[in-house]
């Protein structure tokens, strides 16, 4: 029996060393050498201090900032518990959450008219989407301008400067990274 257990334990130890230690370190090393920024989480720093990640949405709830997509995590904006809400379109809880978010946006800016962009009232699959559509950013311009004492046109230009098109004109959707936009806003004001 020992002759059967010993080889099995040796294979287990060997595979553990290869797949649990050697392979992850090799992949991490290659990633750090080839794409160090992305391998480190695409961290964004200002004045030597890390202020966030370009890949993970943050909670912005003060009217003077552009707001990102609502977070589906508990507690909100918790990158350690990334998950979607898993609520279907006919679920009353989802309908109530969307209606509450629409009311919050209208309360924050009673002059906002027109349809509220869907990405301002629905969560993403990860619950931590760092981007919003350009329409969602433009929808918030008046509120942010009012809160900061700026002109709407100046903020529209700032949003336009931070709007990114589809990759190669084909893949993905036009978007604005909320952290980048808010950092640019902070830098100019």
Backbone angles phi, psi at 47, to 5 degrees: 55, 40
Tell me which of 82 and 96 has the higher pLDDT.
96
Quickly state the pLDDT bin for 189 (edges 50, 70, 90): low
Mean per-residue pLDDT, 120-145? 89
What was the pLDDT predicted at 42? 75
Quickly state the pLDDT bin for 60 (edges 50, 70, 90): confident
Q: What is the mean pLDDT of the chain?
A: 87
40 CB contacts (<8 Å, ≥6 apart)? 32
Residue 50 has pLDDT above 90, yes or no: no
Residue 20 has pLDDT above 80, yes or no: yes
What was the pLDDT predicted at 85? 66
Mean per-residue pLDDT, 9-13? 93
Residue 13 has pLDDT above 80, yes or no: yes
Residue 43 has pLDDT above 70, yes or no: yes
Whole-angstrom distance, CA of residue 58 vs CA of residue 129: 8
Residue 83 has pLDDT above 70, yes or no: no
81 CB contacts (<8 Å, ≥6 apart)? 73, 74, 127
Q: Which has the minimum average pLDDT: 32-36, 98-102, 147-151?
A: 32-36
The alpha-carbon radius of gyration of the chain (Å, integer) is 22
Backbone angles phi, psi at 109, to 5 degrees: -145, 85
């Amino acid at each position: 029996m020992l002759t059967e257990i010993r080889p099995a334990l040796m294979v287990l130890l060997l595979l553990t060393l290869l797949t649990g230690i050697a392979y992850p370190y090799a992949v991490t090393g290659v990633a750090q050498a080839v794409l160090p920024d992305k391998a480190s989480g695409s961290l964004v720093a200002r004045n030597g201090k890390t202020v966030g990640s370009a890949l993970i949405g943050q909670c912005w709830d003060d009217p003077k900032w552009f707001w990102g997509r609502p977070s589906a995590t508990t507690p909100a904006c918790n990158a350690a518990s990334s998950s979607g809400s898993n609520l279907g379109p006919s679920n009353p809880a989802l309908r109530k959450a969307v209606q509450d978010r629409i009311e919050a946006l209208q309360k924050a800016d009673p002059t906002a008219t027109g349809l509220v962009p869907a990405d301002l009232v629905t969560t993403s699959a990860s619950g931590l989407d760092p981007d919003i559509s350009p329409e969602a950013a433009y929808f918030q311009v008046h509120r942010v301008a009012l809160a900061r004492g700026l002109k709407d046109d100046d903020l529209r230009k700032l949003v336009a400067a931070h709007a990114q098109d589809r990759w190669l004109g084909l893949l993905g959707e036009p978007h604005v990274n909320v952290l980048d936009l808010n950092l640019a806003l902070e830098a100019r004001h």
